[in-house]
Amino acid sequence: MTVFYPNGQPYKKENTTFEKKTGSEIVYGHRGMTLEEDLNVTNRYYIETDRAVIYKKPTPIQIVHVDYPKRSAAKITEAYFRKASTTDYNGIYRGKYIDFEAKETTHENYIPLKNFHAHQVEHMKRIKRHGGIGFIIVKFSQSSDTYLLESDFLASFWDASLSGGRKSIPKRFFHEHGHLIPQSYLPRIDYLRIVNQVFF
Amino acid sequence: MTVFYPNGQPYKKENTTFEKKTGSEIVYGHRGMTLEEDLNVTNRYYIETDRAVIYKKPTPIQIVHVDYPKRSAAKITEAYFRKASTTDYNGIYRGKYIDFEAKETTHENYIPLKNFHAHQVEHMKRIKRHGGIGFIIVKFSQSSDTYLLESDFLASFWDASLSGGRKSIPKRFFHEHGHLIPQSYLPRIDYLRIVNQVFF
């Protein structure tokens, strides 16, 4: 079956694997599900089962030029990626504001801090101050181990790095202070089970 | 002073007034500040004064083609607007999850329901169910009167319209059941003052 875009052009399968690359790490969409895909499926499951309302925010784009062709959809012909000033995911769970960033790393034993931005760390500090729940989810691709770590820890590493401290968080820190997230078929990455233990 | 995009091209002032049009109403960016601009300034003020952390979500875009030119930023050369499945604004205030949609209408005495989507109304019902604060902000451009209305009322009008009820919300309903938002220089649209009265 041929699927069409709203503008009448045929849907090209390869387009769906497009991913914005952050930092210098390349995410190989075809080598299995990415963390982002897994989280999207998980969040959809949470919504469908009415457990939580959490979404990934759209990628921020600077639009420069748009064509408005007759009888078809507006087409953006020039645009650029912008850096996000907040985290990628937020929503509500058990009456609480939830906010997190998710990152995948190909390094076996650490994740470089350059995977995050100063604005995001600042944002997470604000969320904490205002009574929200903030954390990061980090997947070590080689092992598929995926951890939840409270945003306070990221902020500590971040601040220390600014005064000469190490520029990455070691995996053993996640092992000791974070929480390994159970993975299954559905929900794929059941991070709310960890949120229940850690924040409630 | 000439300002440049990350890709080295000069910044064109007219691009900043680009706005996605929803429904059949046209928002004239040059006739004064739009509601969206006013809310962005207001939200920035709330963040800077540490009163709340509320952001507009980026416009969802379906990216079809990206060029990666040497020595300059990735350029999106084909993309389309997608319909949002949630509301445009969310965040945290006084420990509570806040969620709202903002619309401007050129009609003097009503706002057509087609300014909203079924998914958004469904989303607002979910937010309410999970203990969040949900509302709409509607600006009547002719008078500049801007109201906050609890999302429950939008849901009632929406559901009634599906079984033959009217396809718009009259301005007098906003006057009777909503709350006129005070406007000033800063914050421009002080909707949190109303949120304090209505939800706390």
Q: How confident is residue B14, by pLDDT bands cut at 50, 70 and 90? A: very low
**Residue B183: pLDDT above 60?**
yes
Task: Express each pLDDT in A57-105 by its tens digit.
Answer: 999 999 999 999 998 899 999 999 998 889 999 999 999 999 999 999 9
Q: Quote the strand ranges of chain B, DSSP E.
A: 53-56, 61-67, 75-81, 89-93, 96-105, 110-112, 133-140, 145-150, 168-170, 179-180
Q: Which of B140, B101, B102, B104 is nearest to B27 (CA)?
A: B104
For residue A13, what pLDDT is reported? Answer: 42
Q: Which pLDDT belongs to residue B32?
A: 66
Summarize the confidence of residues A49-62 as an average pLDDT: 96
B67 inside 8 A of chain A by CB? no
Question: Where does residue B114 fall: left (phi above 0), alpha (psi -120 to 50 degrees), or beta otherwise?
Answer: alpha
Q: Tell me which residues of chain A, numbers 2 to 41, contact chain B at a CB-CB cutoff of 8 Å.
A: 5-7, 12, 15, 18
Residue B84: predicted pLDDT: 87
Q: List CB contacts of B48: < 8 A, sequence separation 6 or more.
A: none
If you count them, how many residues does chain B have? 200
Angstrom distance (rounded) from CA A183 to CA A191: 9
Mean per-residue pLDDT over chain B, rounded: 88
A103: enclosing H helix or E strand: strand A96-105
Q: Is B162 on the interface with A (CB under 8 A)?
A: no
Other beta carbons within 10 angstroms of residue A67's beta carbon come to: 11
The minimum CA-CA distance between A150 and chain B, rounded to whole Å, is 18
Q: How far apart are CA A158 and CA B92, in angstroms?
A: 23
pLDDT score for A153: 98
Q: Which of B170, B111, B182 lies closest to B145 in space, CA to CA?
A: B182
For residues A15 and B6, the model is more confident at: B6
Report CA dihedral (B36, A134, A124, B196) to the nearest 10 degrees. Answer: 50
What ipTM was reported for this prediction?
Answer: 0.83
Is the per-residue pLDDT at A161 higher than 50? yes
**Is the CB of A184 inside 8 Å of chain B's CB atoms?**
no
Beta strands B133-140 and A145-150: pairing type? Answer: unpaired
What does pLDDT average to over chain A? Answer: 88
pLDDT of residue A27: 43
A85 at B interface, C-beta within 8 A: yes
**CB nearest B79 (choices: A52, A79, A86):** A79
Do you know the residue count of chain A?
A: 200
| Contact yes or no for A61 and B76 at CB 8 A | yes
Once rounded to an integer, what is the mean pLDDT over residues B82-100?
96
pLDDT at B19 (0 to 100): 43
Q: How far apart are CA B53 and CA B45, in angstroms?
A: 10
The answer to whether the Cβ–Cβ distance between B130 and A55 falls below 8 Å is no
pLDDT value of position A152: 98
Instruction: Return the pLDDT at B29.
Output: 38
The answer to whether the peptide bond before residue A112 is cis (omega within 30 degrees of 0) is no
A117-120 own/partner pairs: CB under 8 Å, 24+ apart = A117/A83, A117/A84, A118/A158, A119/A83, A119/A84, A119/A85, A119/A86, A120/A84, A120/A85, A120/A86, A120/A87
Nearest to B79 among A12, A76, A86 (CB): A76
pLDDT of residue B85: 87
CB-based contact, A112 to chain B, within 8 Å: no
| Cβ within 8 Å, pair A75-B79 | yes
* Nearest residue of chain A to residue B57 (CA atoms): A57
Give the sign of the dihedral formed by CA A75, CA A81, CA A83, CA A87.
Answer: positive
Contact assignment for B75 to A76 by CB distance below 8 Å: no
Give pLDDT tens digits for B25-74.
Answer: 444 433 468 999 999 999 999 999 999 999 999 999 999 999 999 989 99
Residue B197 labelled as part of a binding site: no
The domains found in chain A, sorted by start residue, are 13-199 (3.40.1350.10)
Helices (H), A90-181: 118-129, 151-162, 171-177
Cβ within 8 Å, pair B81-A61: no
Per-residue model confidence (pLDDT) at position B33 = 86
Average pLDDT over residues B109-132: 97
Structure confidence at residue A32 (pLDDT) = 66
